[in-house]
């Protein structure tokens, strides 16, 4: 008698077949790939035993032969000789326009705008940030397939917690170009928490301080029996180790060559200066460098630059950057309604956290020694690998539950330019939220929906994400239609919006894929303004709502007078028209603080028309019952 195997839906027909999945940390300066082998997450090395892959791609002239590009260490080695075609820190360009890239003019390569996004001009033609990132991702994919001698099933790729929809979508597009199936995008701090939580069986509330080469993230997470819940998240997507390098380089220039600091600098000189600053920073982070200092020495086209730098010099010239990270930490703690004393531990992530000045500042802020027993360069990739292994169903990781959050509120525009929030910020994802709306005018057959993101009450103060229309609504009286708007945010943080008229069943939907990113200034302003202007926004909302209610009453009353004005005596009609005139005049006042006056005029008109409304109701009942028998009713 044969035994028949029954598999779970979606499970491999071969119960012994193991899916090859990896976790990828696509970093600003370095990238890594990790996988779970023999029950342990580990980073995969290249043929030379190197785990870190520089996130650098050099394009060469196709006419000269060869592959036309170099990736990783080879590209970085050629940066000094060919800075205009060696692309580094491309992560900062993902999902952005040129104007939204901080210090874009300091980059050694040329960035221009094309079709609503920043693109890079190279000798091999214009390259999008997704194409450049795809080269790095493809190299990591080949490394993984060589390690396992098998094709890759999929990958979990990490992104900064503050990446918006456009930046996340750009990351998925890059993976698709590299031939990688994205199982999920997860936030970098969350990946780090997975690595620490599972490896150390930690429970409680933890802060994850992630200072990488180009981005800074801070997340507050609650870890409980395999559940990773993000309580709040924040950061700065244009702050990282590159900025520390630049600050040190500019300080040395100002000390040793003030004239050169103010003059324009060749791209090759900027690249050499940045590279030497990175070397000095890393040397000053070692015990020997802290004690003795290091010599900053680099040969530029205008001469040799040499200056001794101490650990205190590095701390001094980068103090403002460190304080920027702590400012973001304070905001996130307020969002989570926590104090530093309620944080059980602080996880340090990112190569830049190796700097003693950063560790000392974070330790002093939280009043405890940060956790750094896992390699800060590798911890994000290790956490992503654990998550990938769980999603693929390869091991006992199926009990891992990952609860992430969205960084900014999502909503739609309502009458008067107001924002109705549907998904509040710091909501756990994946999530789906719905809210019912109605039409404003009689016989309205279409509804325009404007999707926005932000913390302010007025649409003008928020960021527009998308617009679409719901058509085919049956003609009804104003307020009779019932339109359900549903916001769905998937596990990758990507948004889709659907609208459905519940009576007729007509519906429309849109996947929100903006062609541009959110600038760092916008991110900071949205959160800061949401708190700083709360009182002002409340007054503005009250004023707009009062105007909308008044307009609605005037429209309805004009229609009623036209249909049943004969029910009124001349004196009654004159009194109602006087009240309407008073309300109309109050609407001419542009002062938002005058909402109470509009509300008072609206109430007076409503009270003054109660008798007219009763007369209209009586007439309607009489007309409805005319010619009908009591028994029939």
Angle at 512 between CA 506 and CA 515, to 5 degrees: 140
Rounded to whole angstroms, what are the CA distances from 171 to 61, 269, 339, 375, 490? Answer: 27, 31, 34, 24, 15
Could you count the other beta carbons within 10 Å of the beta carbon of residue 522? 17
Chain centroid to CA 199 = 28
Phi, psi (rounded to 5 degrees) for 226: 85, -5
Q: What does DSSP say about strands 463-471 and 428-429: parallel, antiparallel, or unpaired? A: unpaired
91 included as an active-site residue: yes
Asked whether 21 and 394 are in contact (CB, 8 A), the reply is: yes
Please pick, among 82, 164, 165, 188, the residue that the annotation labels catalytic.
Answer: 188
Chain centroid to CA 284 = 34
Q: What DSSP string runs through 41-54?
A: EEEPP-TTS---EE
- CA–CA separation, 520 and 303 (whole Å): 36
- CA–CA separation, 574 and 553 (whole Å): 17
Please pick, among 82, 91, 245, 377, the residue that the annotation labels catalytic.
Answer: 91
Give the number of residues written for the chain: 633
Asked whether 383 and 374 are in contact (CB, 8 A), the reply is: no
Could you count the other beta carbons within 10 Å of the beta carbon of residue 556? 16
- CA–CA separation, 384 and 188 (whole Å): 8
188 included as an active-site residue: yes
Residues 6+ apart with CB under 8 A from 59: 68, 69, 85, 87, 122, 123, 124, 127
Q: What DSSP string runs through 264-306?
A: ---HHHHHHHHHHHHHHHHHHTSHHHHHH-EEEEEEETTEEEE
Phi, psi (rounded to 5 degrees) for 612: -65, -40
507 included as an active-site residue: no
Please pick, among 25, 135, 243, 413, the residue that the annotation labels catalytic.
Answer: 25
Please pick, among 210, 245, 378, 520, the residue that the annotation labels catalytic.
Answer: 210
Annotated catalytic residues are: 25, 91, 188, 210
């Amino acid at each position: 008698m044969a035994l028949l195997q029954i598999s779970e839906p979606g499970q491999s027909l071969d119960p012994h077949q193991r899916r090859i999945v990896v976790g990828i940390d696509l970093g600003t300066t370095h990238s890594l790939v990790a996988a779970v082998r023999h029950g342990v997450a580990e980073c995969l090395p290249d043929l030379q035993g190197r785990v870190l892959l520089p996130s650098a791609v050099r394009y060469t002239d196709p006419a000269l032969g060869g592959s036309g590009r170099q990736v990783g260490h080879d590209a970085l080695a050629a940066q000094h000789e060919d800075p205009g075609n060696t692309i580094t820190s491309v992560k900062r360009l993902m999902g952005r326009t040129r104007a939204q890239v901080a210090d874009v003019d300091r980059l050694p390569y040329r960035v221009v705008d094309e079709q609503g996004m920043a693109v890079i001009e190279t000798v091999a033609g214009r390259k999008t940030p997704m194409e450049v990132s795809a080269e790095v991702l493809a190299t990591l994919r080949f490394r993984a397939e060589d390690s396992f001698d098998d094709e890759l099933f999929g990958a979990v790729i990490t992104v900064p917690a503050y990446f918006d929809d456009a930046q996340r979508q750009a990351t998925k597009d890059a993976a698709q170009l590299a031939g990688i199936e994205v199982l999920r995008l997860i936030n970098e701090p969350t990946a780090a928490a997975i690595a620490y939580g599972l490896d150390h069986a930690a429970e409680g509330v933890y802060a994850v301080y992630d200072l990488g080469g180009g981005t800074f993230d801070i997340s507050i997470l609650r870890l409980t029996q395999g559940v990773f819940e993000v309580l709040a998240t924040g950061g700065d997507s244009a702050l990282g180790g590159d900025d520390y390098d630049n600050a040190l380089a500019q300080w040395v220039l100002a000390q040793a060559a003030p004239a050169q600091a103010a003059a324009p600098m060749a791209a090759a000189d900027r690249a050499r200066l940045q590279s030497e600053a990175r070397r000095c920073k890393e040397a000053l982070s070692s015990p020997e460098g802290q004690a003795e200092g290091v010599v900053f020495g680099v040969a530029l086209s205008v001469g040799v630059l040499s200056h001794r730098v101490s650990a205190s010099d590095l701390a001094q010239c980068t103090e403002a950057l460190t304080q920027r990270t702590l400012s973001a930490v304070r905001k996130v703690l307020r969002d989570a309604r926590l104090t530093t004393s309620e944080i059980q531990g602080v996880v340090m992530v990112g190569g830049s956290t190796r700097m003693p000045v950063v560790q000392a500042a974070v330790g002093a802020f939280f009043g405890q020694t940060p956790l750094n027993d896992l390699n800060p360069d590798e911890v994000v990739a290790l956490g992503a690998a654990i998550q990938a292994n769980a999603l693929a169903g390869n091991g006992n990781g199926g009990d891992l539950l990952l609860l992430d959050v969205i960084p900014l509120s999502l909503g739609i525009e309502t009458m008067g330019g107001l924002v109705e929030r549907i998904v509040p910020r710091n909501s756990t994802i994946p999530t789906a939220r719905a809210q019912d709306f109605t039409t404003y005018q009689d016989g309205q057959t279409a509804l325009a929906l404007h999707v926005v993101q932000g913390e302010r009450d007025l649409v003008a103060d928020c960021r527009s994400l998308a617009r679409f229309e719901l058509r085919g609504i049956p003609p009804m009286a104003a307020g009779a239609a019932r339109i359900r708007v549903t916001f769905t945010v998937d596990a990758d943080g990507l948004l889709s919006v659907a609208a459905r008229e519940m009576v007729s069943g007509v519906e429309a939907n849109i996947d929100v894929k903006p062609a541009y990113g959110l600038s760092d200034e916008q991110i900071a302003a949205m959160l800061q303004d949401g708190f700083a202007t709360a009182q002002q926004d409340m007054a503005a909302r009250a004023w707009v709502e009062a105007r909308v209610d008044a307009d609605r009453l005037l429209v309805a009353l004009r229609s009623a007078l036209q249909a049943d004005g004969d029910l009124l005596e001349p004196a009654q009609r004159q009194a109602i028209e006087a009240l309407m005139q008073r309300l109309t005049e109050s609407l001419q006042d542009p002062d938002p603080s005058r909402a109470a006056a509009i509300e008072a005029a609206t109430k007076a008109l409503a009270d003054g028309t109660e008798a007219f409304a009763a007369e209209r109701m009586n007439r309607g009942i009489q007309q409805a019952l005319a010619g009908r028998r009591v028994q029939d009713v």
